[in-house]
Structure 1
Amino acid sequence: MVPSEERPIFLATHPRSCSTAFERVFMTRDKDIFCIHEPFGDAFYYGPERLSSRYEGDHNDAIGNREKSGFHESTYNSVLEDIERSGKEEKRVFIKDMACYLIPPSDHSTFENPVLVPSVTPLAAYNGNGTHPSTIKNPTILPLSVLKRFQFAFLIRNPRKAVPSYYRCCVPPLNEMTGFKYFMPNEAGYRELRVLFEYLLEEGVIRHPSSSRGENSVYKNVCVIDADDLLDNPKVVVEKFCAMTGLDFDAKMLEWGAHEGCGNFDKWKGFHEDAIGSSGLQPRTKKKTKTREEEIQEWVDKYGEEAAGVIDRTADENMEDYEFLRQFRVIV
């Protein structure tokens, strides 16, 4: 296995978690860090092994949308090959991506019995667990031997903030830019993030700090960042993240030029405009606390009663998974 501090960092998250702003922190280190922005979405949405139903089908619209993306030939293995090539740049690789891209969604035929996608099946050895068979069923579409190549960290955000933000990207006027013409509750991503987290924990790819032992064990410690902590105390959170992932911290990482080096965000237009236009991470001065009733009324005012109900239910459905992951968060 590649030494932990040399493995690509894989920041696994869910949509609208403030992850792109966090990614921009590491984009400031272009001399020693190579950032890869959501690579597995190419295969998940557009390629021949796609798991999402958003652009599924053989009708002209679906085919046209996939081809227009430029990723209609992307497979999970081609994404992995691109990542491996990036690692030869003598820089530490930092990947930010959605856990839901690695796990079949609820409307997929393999939802209850996940299988490895065809392009990566040859990479699996003995159930994808190196030289020893695993007794734990793999819930992802990648072999465990491949997952072990990465050093995982996690970023979460309260679903009552993330879900309405995602809904906004899927309705007019913003959806004209994003291309996501409707909201799909099963894209919220918390279930998949928890499933991935628990699987990696059970297989020892990540470990709770209390159980970590031995040389370099810190690099296997569970690293979960909550977006609220990041927004309130960016310097402390980023410094702790660097310590847990084997990176040197530099306070200059918290400042950057607006719109600088954001070309890789173009494939997801409309989703990252705030992060693109930002110039750094500063502690927020006011933390708005709203009652549930105030939240719902705000959604009603913006989107109507029916939509507010969808947002409210989706947020509630994902709260248990969020709270589970939150118990592991890095304390600041």
Structure 2
Amino acid sequence: MAASDILETNGAPAAAPAATPRRLLLVSVPRTASNLLLKIWNIPNQPNLLTSPKGGYFFYPAFIEATQYGDFLNKPGDQWTDEQQIKVKNSCQKCVDALEEYSARAKENNQVMFTKEHAYWMYSPAALQKSITGHHDQEFFKAFRVDVPETYGTARTYSPSNETIFSDEYLRSWQMVFIIRHPALAWPSMYRAMQKMADSGIIDEDGVVGSSTTHMTMHWSRMLYDWSLEQPDVPVAPPVIDAHDLIHNPEVVLKLCELTGLDKSAVQFEWAGNSEKKSQHWACHDPDASIEEVKMHQHAARVMLSTLESSSGIVKDKAPEIIDIAAEAAKWRDEFGEEAGVLIEESVRDSMPDYEYLRARRITF
């Protein structure tokens, strides 16, 4: 692994290594201000913490692979070819192997391993089919389960509520944190970003609808949160942070530091003069990416990170206090057209029960 592919934060390793160094997983959804949280947390300057230059996103390549080889919006499992299943499974395995390479280094140096991943990227393609059809295809689920080092134990169990590509034992090796945002703010923002990517030729119009449909939901986050509550060795519920609180009451991050063990003194609420752009690191740890692919993914990152990278602090007008979904829906139809506006409104209304459920469990300061 090249040294440039590792972001090692400040602070020397402790003299006496802990028996089980912690691993921290931020479970996000696109456009929920997760990158803002990383900026406020000041992840690059958190003492004794290891992450990738992206701050995670190890499973982004697997998501891209799945969209290329398996039309999982329209194809049930029995219509996938063996080649498609194998390629997607192998891509998932490469992502896990890359993550575990970092984790092994963190463990060796007694560091905290940190990653941020979008919830959906960790779920089996079979889970989407189940959510659409209601049919649980056990063999289709098995096709995408990944192998992990035996350092996490030899047992491999998959509880009914675990529809990810990981075993229960592996998921329990992470301390999870969830970030959420009101769907009426997150989903149109995501659709807008997907359209910008289509305008740049990164994805086509089908990709705009497909990526939006699979991500414009809190279903995957809630499933993983509820799975966490079922685990016998998880002493407390995972922390949940709402983007509204993050923006209007950013001191909530101090409480989050207490719950995760991160250093409060590293937290920042302004970053004027910080010229480093996270989008510059996009795809830099993918050795198989061509120059054209790297440029494409970097451009996509600039689209997704444009507000944050042009800011010098928290932008509060991105989080209004009052949200009228019906009034906003009329604006979406004007901006995106009738069909897309209806899609966004339906996704927002469908997401509200899961959002309200998680919001009721959020941490406050």
With the shorter chain as reference, the TM-score category is 0.7 to 0.9
1:231 is aligned with what amino acid? I
Per the alignment, residue 113 of structure 2 pairs with 93
2: distance between equivalents of 1:226 and 1:274? 18
Candidates 148, 172, 175, aligned match of 1:151: 175
Among 33, 56, 79, the alignment partner of 2:98 is 79
1:191–1:312 Cα change, 3 Å: same
In the TM superposition, what are the counterparts of 1:201-216 in structure 2 within 5 Å?
Answer: 201-204=229-232, 206=234, 212=235
The match for 2:198 is 175
SS at the partner of 1:289?
coil
> 2:163 matched to 1:139?
yes
> Are 1:103 and 2:132 matched, yes or no?
no
Question: What is the total number of aligned residue pairs between the two structures?
Answer: 302
What's 1:248 paired with?
A: 263
Q: Helix, strand or coil for the counterpart of 1:37?
A: coil
Map Cα deviations across residues 46-103 of structure 1 (whole Å, 9 max, x no partner). Answer: 279987748x999xxxx9xx9xxxx969624323323324524554222111111111
Residues 86 and 52 of structure 1: CA distance in aligned 2, closer, same or farther (over 3 Å): farther
Deviation string, structure 1 residues 131-152 (Cα, Å, up to 9, x no partner): xxx7655321101221122111
In 2, the alpha carbon distance for the partners of 1:205 and 1:183 equals 39
**CA-atom RMSD, angstroms?**
3.7
Which amino acid in structure 1 is aligned with residue 98 of structure 2? V
TM-score (norm 1): 0.76
Asked if 1:24 corresponds to 2:39, the answer is: yes
Question: TM-score if structure 2 supplies the norm length?
Answer: 0.70
Residue 109 of structure 1: how far off its partner (Å): 5.5
Q: Quote the offset at 1:3 in angstroms.
A: 7.2
The structural deviation recorded for 1:110 is 6.9
> Aligned pair in 2 of structure 1 residues 80, 290: CA closer, same or farther (>3 Å)?
closer
Structure 1: runs of 5 or more not aligned:
207-211, 213-219
Pairing partner for 2:333 from 292, 300, 312: 300
| Inter-partner Cα distance in structure 2 for 1:11 and 1:314 | 23
- 8 Å Cα contact 2:146/2:166 also seen in 1: no
| Counterpart in the other structure of 1:187 | 215
- Structure 2 counterpart of 1:145, which letter? E
Conserved 8 A contact 1:225-1:329: yes
Structure 1: which 4+ aligned runs deviate by more than 6 Å? 2-5, 47-52, 71-74
Q: Deviations over 1:296-331 (max 9, x none)?
A: 121122111221111000111111111111121002
Among 269, 278, 281, which residue is 1:264 paired with?
A: 281
User: What letter corresponds to residue 224 of structure 2 in structure 1?
Assistant: L
Deviations 1:97-143 (A, max 9, x none): 111111135785676343373541775867525xxxx7655321101
Q: 2:188 aligns with which of 161, 164, 175?
A: 164
| CA gap 1:194/1:139 in 2 versus in 1, 3 angstroms | same
Find the residue that maps to 2:27 and give its secondary structure: strand
Do the aligned partners of residues 106 and 119 (structure 1) sit closer, same or farther apart at CA in structure 2, a change above 3 Å counting? closer
2:46 and 2:262 in contact (8 A); partners too: no
Matches within 5 A, 1:27-38: 27-29=43-45, 31-35=47-51, 36-38=55-57
Does the 8 Å contact 1:265/1:272 carry over to 2? no
Residues 1:52 and 1:162: Cα distance change in structure 2 (over 3 Å):
farther
1:86 and 1:320, CA in 2 relative to 1: closer, same or farther beyond 3 A? farther
Secondary structure of the structure 2 residue equivalent to 1:94:
strand
Tell me the percent identity.
24
- AA aligned to 1:202 is E
Moved more, 116-125 or 256-265: 116-125
Aligned 8 A contact 1:16 1:163 in 2? yes
3-state DSSP of counterpart to 1:170: helix
CA distance in 2, matches of 1:188, 1:157: 11
Work out whether 1:331 is the aligned partner of 2:348. Answer: no
Q: Which amino acid aligns with 1:10?
A: L
Q: Is the 8 A contact 1:38 1:98 kept in 2?
A: yes
Equivalence for 1:322: 355
Q: Runs of 5+ in structure 2 lacking a partner?
A: 1-16, 284-296
Paired residue secondary structure (1:250) = helix
**Larger fraction in helix:** 2
Distance 1:159 1:222, change over 3 A: same
Indicate whether 1:224 and 2:240 are aligned: yes
CA distance in 2, matches of 1:265, 1:9: 21
